[in-house]
């Protein structure tokens, strides 16, 4: 696939991400969510002692990242794979230890903005939402084939949607639904008028929930993060950028489990891992002003102790 020239994605919290990697040792760095390779090029430019293995499940991202990283030669390897396969792919390339990783979760700007990718409630397109366009299940499959109860569950679990029952019944009454525009209209008409008057699009939470279901986003996150944490070598740093509370909860719990492993109450930590910094870092007001998509970002970090 040749890359579309207009692939534009501003890397979120690029400065704080690079700062957090300041003390990372040399070695192999994993970018689990390459996108347009914005974070990866920043890491490669800052750290000449680092090689990157980058992963993405979106063929369009792979095409653009491959082109943008060509100038770095064998310092950058690009893999068309889901990040829960990263450990296997790395092992195939003889890598069993890494100096750091970044997961920048969620969707890229082109995925949201290009109508033909079918993620957008603002631009009409086919009801698709697959990051991996070879993936078997699209948003149309979820919307048209799931039972009403299954749709309610998706909307509540992944979108915290209070009007899940009304929306699911409206979807059921209007099936089959073919486009994002049709779905956005059905949802907007299903919610109470008071919700329609609130700021933000009435379909935003439902679209997020369906996208998460289509791409198995939350189901694979915990195991994939655990696997990357276990690959960190001494002093290695793991960073994750999340964009909604469901993702952030999983990331916090995985990291806490690693940091508190084997601890006994009142005794010094026996874990191999420590928090890189406490809590989550958030973007500056300037960044949110410049790039509204950074607004909900939360950065968390973990480090493997040097002398474990």
Ligand X SMILES: C[S@@+](CC[C@H](N)C(=O)[O-])C[C@H]1O[C@@H](n2cnc3c(N)ncnc32)[C@H](O)[C@@H]1O
**129-148 binders of ligand X (CB under 6 A):** 131
Nearer to ligand X, 31 or 272 (CB): 31
Nearer to ligand X, 6 or 262 (CB): 6
299 sits near ligand X (criterion: CB under 6 A): no
The region, left, alpha or beta by phi > 0 then psi within -120 to 50, assigned to residue 278 is beta
80 sits near ligand X (criterion: CB under 6 A): no
Are the C-beta atoms of residues 56 and 62 closer than 8 Å to each other?
Answer: yes
- CA 223, CA 235: separation in Å to the nearest integer? 22
Q: Using alpha carbons, list the distances in angstroms from residue 197 to 46, 109, 171, 185.
A: 46, 26, 21, 15
Shortest Å distance, C-beta 30 to ligand X: 11
Q: Which two tokens stand for residue 251?
A: 């990331």
Taking Cα atoms as reference points, which of 176, 189, 188, 185 lies closest to residue 142?
A: 176
Site string for ligand X, 97-136 (x = CB under 6 A): -------x-xxx----------------------x-----
Nearer to ligand X, 39 or 77 (CB): 39
Site string for ligand X, 38-67 (x = CB under 6 A): xx---------------xxxx--x------
Shortest Å distance, C-beta 276 to ligand X: 18
E-strand stretches of the chain: 27-31, 50-56, 76-80, 98-104, 232-242, 273-275, 298-304
Shortest Å distance, C-beta 240 to ligand X: 11
3-class secondary structure, 282: coil
213 sits near ligand X (criterion: CB under 6 A): no
Nearer to ligand X, 186 or 214 (CB): 214
Nearer to ligand X, 105 or 276 (CB): 105
Q: Which residues bind ligand X (CB under 6 A)?
A: 9, 11, 33, 35-39, 55-58, 61, 82-83, 104, 106-108, 131, 220
């Amino acid at each position: 696939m040749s890359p579309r020239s207009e692939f534009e994605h501003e890397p979120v919290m690029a400065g704080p991400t690079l700062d957090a990697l300041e003390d990372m040792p040399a070695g192999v760095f994993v970018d689990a969510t390459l996108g347009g390779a914005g974070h990866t090029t920043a890491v490669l430019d800052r750290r000449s002692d680092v090689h990157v293995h980058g992963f993405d499940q979106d063929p369009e991202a792979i095409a653009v990242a491959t082109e943008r990283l060509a100038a770095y030669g064998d310092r950058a390897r690009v893999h068309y794979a889901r990040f829960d396969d990263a450990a296997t792919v790395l092992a195939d390339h003889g890598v069993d230890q890494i100096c750091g990783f970044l997961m920048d979760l969620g969707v890229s700007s082109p995925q949201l903005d290009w109508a033909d990718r079918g993620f957008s409630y603002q631009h009409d397109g086919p009801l698709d939402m697959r990051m991996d366009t070879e993936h078997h299940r699209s948003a149309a499959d979820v919307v048209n084939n799931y039972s009403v109860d299954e749709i309610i569950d998706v909307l509540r679990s992944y979108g915290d949607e209070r009007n899940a029952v009304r929306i699911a019944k409206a979807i059921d009454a209007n099936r089959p639904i073919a486009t994002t525009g049709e779905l956005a209209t059905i949802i907007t008409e299903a919610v109470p008028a008071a919700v329609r008057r609130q700021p933000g699009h009435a379909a935003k939470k439902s679209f997020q929930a369906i996208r998460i279901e289509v791409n198995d986003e939350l189901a694979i996150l915990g195991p994939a993060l655990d696997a990357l944490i276990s690959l960190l070598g001494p002093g290695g740093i793991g960073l994750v950028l999340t964009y909604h509370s469901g993702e952030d909860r999983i990331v916090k719990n995985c990291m806490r489990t690693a940091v508190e492993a084997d601890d006994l109450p009142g005794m010094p930590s026996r874990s191999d891992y420590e928090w890189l910094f406490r809590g989550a870092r958030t973007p500056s007001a300037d960044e949110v002003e410049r790039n509204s998509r950074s607004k909900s970002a939360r950065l968390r970090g973990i480090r493997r102790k040097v002398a474990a």
